[in-house]
């Protein structure tokens, strides 16, 4: 994934790790990231990166959960652990919302491709 897409993911995760107190995304920055994903998904092969972006999208969420959330929860006990789980759950929902927003074109494109493939397969049967 290009450097800019990695910056997008790191920025979002940095905002979450700062307990949402840092600089938020403005419209221009959001459109930069959305446009990047769109452009990467609309190129003709071999420059279409839809599948790689989708794998990176899934990996970014999984990596964040494993590298930031899980250790933060494991280091606490009792009521402090429960508070941490609650906080991290709220952050996870925000993370998924923004990632889904940045990658919305990709998700729509892959759903459309899966539906087309399914319809084609059912016609052959």
pLDDT tens digits along 62-75: 999 999 999 999 99
User: Which tens digit of pLDDT belongs to each residue from 5-59?
Assistant: 678 888 888 888 888 776 678 899 889 988 988 898 888 888 888 888 888 888 9
Query: What pTM, to 2 d.p., does this model score?
Result: 0.74
Q: What is the 3-state secondary structure (H, E, C) of the chain?
A: CCHHHHHHHHHHHHHHHCCCCCCCCCHHHHHHHHHHHHHHHCCCCCCCCHHHHHHHHHHHHHHHHHHHHHHHHHCCCHHHHHHHHHHHHHHHHHHHHHHHHHCHHHHHHHHHHHHHHHHHHHHHC
Q: What domains are there in the chain, each with its CATH number?
A: 3-124 (1.20.1310.10)
């Amino acid at each position: 994934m290009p450097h800019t897409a990695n910056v997008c993911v790191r920025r979002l995760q940095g905002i979450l790790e700062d307990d949402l107190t840092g600089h938020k995304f403005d419209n221009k920055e959001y459109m930069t990231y959305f446009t990047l994903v769109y452009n990467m998904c609309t190129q003709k092969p071999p420059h279409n990166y839809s599948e790689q972006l989708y794998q990176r999208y899934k990996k970014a969420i999984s990596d964040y959960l494993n590298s930031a959330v899980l250790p933060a929860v494991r280091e606490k006990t009792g009521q402090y652990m429960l508070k941490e789980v609650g906080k991290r759950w709220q952050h996870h929902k925000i993370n998924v919302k923004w990632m889904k927003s940045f990658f919305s074109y990709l998700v729509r494109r892959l759903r459309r491709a899966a539906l087309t493939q399914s319809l084609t397969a059912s016609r052959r049967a």
